[in-house]
C-alpha cells in the first residue's frame, strides 16, 4: 500500500511548493508539495480498495504508512487512514499504543494536534474512566508531546469538557518555559471561553503568577471582543 500511495503522490507532486512547505514546518523530512485538499483526494482514491477486517489489520496498515514514510505527506496519509470512517469501531483503548507511538515519534505539532483533537478525543469520550487516568499520566510525562496531547484532547468538547481534568492536565506544565506547552495551555483555555468565559477569567486571575505571558494572552484573546 505504501508503494501505491507513494506513486500517487509523486504523480501530483509540486516541487516548487515542496521546499516552502518543508521550511514552514521546519521539517527534516521532505515534502512532495501536495497541499491538503489534493492530499485528501489522493488518499481517498488510494484507500478506496483497502480492506481491514479487524482492528489489528487496520493498525498494521496505519503503522506501515507511518513507519515507512520518507515524505511528510505519507505520514499525513497515515493520519488520514487512522481517521477512516470504516475504522470507527476500532477507536478504542486498543488503539492507544499506536497513537502514543505516532505522538512520540512524530514529535511535532502538525501530527500531534491532529491526533490529540481527533483520535485521542474520540477515545476519551467513549472510555472516559481509563482515558482520564491515562491523560493525567501523560500530563506528567517527560515527553512534551504527550503533555501537549493531554492538554488539547478536549478542544472540541464544549459543554462536555471535564474542566477538572483540563486543569489537572495543565497543572504539571503550568510553569513550563516550553513554547509548545505554553501555547497549548493558552489554546485549550481560550477554547473553553466560548462555553464559560467567567471560569477561564477566574482561572487565569488565580494562576496569573504561574502562567506564562503567552498562555495568559492566548487564553484571554477572545474575551472583550
- Cell for 24? 514552514
- For residues 53, 59, 60, 62, the Cα torsion angle rounded to the nearest 10 degrees is 110
Residue numbers of the domain that contains 153: 92-225
Last residue of a domain, one of 39, 55, 90: 90
Residues 112 and 145 in one domain: yes
Residues 31 and 41 in one domain: yes
Q: pLDDT tens, 111-160?
A: 999 999 999 999 999 999 999 999 999 999 999 999 999 999 999 999 99
Last residue of a domain, one of 90, 120, 151: 90
Residues 76 and 120 in one domain: no
Residues 170 and 206 in one domain: yes
Residues 47 and 130 in one domain: no
Q: Identify whether the C-beta of residue 71 lies closer than 8 Å to the C-beta of residue 32.
A: yes
Residues 80 and 99 in one domain: no
Given this model, what pLDDT does residue 223 score? 84
Last residue of a domain, one of 33, 66, 90: 90
Q: What share of the chain is helix, strand, coil (3-state, %, to 5)?
A: 70, 0, 30
Residue 40's domain is classified under what CATH number?
Answer: 1.25.10.90
Residues 132 and 214 in one domain: yes
Given this model, what pLDDT does residue 2 score? 84
Residues 170 and 105 in one domain: yes
Given this model, what pLDDT does residue 224 score? 61
- C-alpha 209/C-alpha 185 separation (Å) is 15
Q: Total structural domains in the chain?
A: 2
Residues of the chain with pLDDT under 70: 224-225
Amino acid at each position: 500500500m505504501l508503494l501505491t500511495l507513494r506513486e500517487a503522490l509523486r504523480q501530483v507532486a509540486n516541487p516548487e511548493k515542496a521546499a516552502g512547505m518543508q521550511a514552514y514546518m521546519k521539517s527534516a523530512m521532505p515534502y512532495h508539495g501536495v497541499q491538503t485538499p489534493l492530499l485528501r483526494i489522493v488518499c481517498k482514491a488510494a484507500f478506496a480498495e483497502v480492506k481491514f477486517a479487524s482492528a489489528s489489520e487496520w493498525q498494521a496498515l496505519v503503522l506501515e504508512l507511518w513507519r515507512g514514510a520518507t515524505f511528510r505527506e505519507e505520514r499525513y496519509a497515515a493520519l488520514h487512514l487512522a481517521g477512516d470512517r470504516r475504522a470507527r469501531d476500532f477507536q478504542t483503548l486498543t488503539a492507544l499504543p499506536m497513537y502514543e507511538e505516532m505522538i512520540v515519534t512524530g514529535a511535532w505539532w502538525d501530527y500531534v494536534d491532529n491526533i490529540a483533537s481527533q483520535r485521542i478525543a474520540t477515545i476519551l469520550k467513549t472510555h472516559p474512566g481509563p482515558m482520564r487516568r491515562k491523560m493525567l499520566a501523560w500530563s506528567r510525562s517527560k515527553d512534551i508531546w504527550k503533555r501537549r496531547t493531554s492538554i488539547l484532547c478536549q478542544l472540541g468538547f464544549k459543554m462536555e469538557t471535564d474542566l477538572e481534568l483540563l486543569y489537572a492536565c495543565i497543572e504539571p506544565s503550568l510553569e513550563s518555559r516550553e513554547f509548545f506547552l505554553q501555547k497549548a495551555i493558552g489554546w485549550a483555555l481560550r477554547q473553553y471561553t466560548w462555553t464559560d468565559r467567567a471560569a477561564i477569567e477566574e482561572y487565569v486571575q488565580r494562576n496569573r503568577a504561574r502562567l506564562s505571558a503567552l498562555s495568559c494572552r492566548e487564553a484571554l484573546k477572545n474575551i472583550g471582543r
